[in-house]
Amino acid sequence: MNRRNFLRVTSLAGAATIALPSLGYMTTSLKDAAVGVIINELNYLTLDRAGVEQFVDDYLRGHYINSSLKAQFSLISCYYLGGNVTKSLTIPKLVQSYLISTDFFLNKMDERRTIKYINRNMPYKLPCYNPFSALYYPQAAS
């Protein structure tokens, strides 16, 4: 193999290693990335996949992330790269909002139960139930 063929093959292989993963990166929907991030972050819990998808649909409806390319890029990057999510503002808020919107705290944080989605917690639009109230934890209220 002469030098030109070697350089041609090497450059095509290099371009393919960059282009092919980026095609998968660009074709991932925001919903799939958000569902994947929630499932990856809460991998120690048993989650209802249909409930997670319904939450993500409700969460993304009217959320600023739909119009912010930076936030979308951050979410998809965390999904693919599994980066340090403590530096992200979007991911912890997404996961916290999911947990508050489920029956996890109503079931006294029992990690053995399957976590079911109840309703999107929007304290400024809907009256909020308080999963931390003394009705659910009377022994801790005293």
pLDDT in tens, 6-44: 878 887 777 767 766 665 656 678 888 888 889 988 889
**Per-residue pLDDT at 130:** 62
More confident residue, 141 or 101: 101
Q: Tell me: pLDDT of 133 over 70.
A: no
Percent of the chain with pLDDT over 70: 73
Residue ranges of alpha helices (H) inside the chain are 3-27, 30-41, 49-60, 69-81, 90-100, 138-141
- Looking at per-residue pLDDT, the higher value among 90 and 125 belongs to 90
Better pLDDT: 96 or 132: 96
* Token representation of residue 111: 């990690």
How far is C-alpha 101 from the chain's CA centre?
Answer: 14
pLDDT score at 53? 93
Q: How far is CA 103 from CA 52, 55, 79, 106, in A?
A: 12, 13, 25, 5
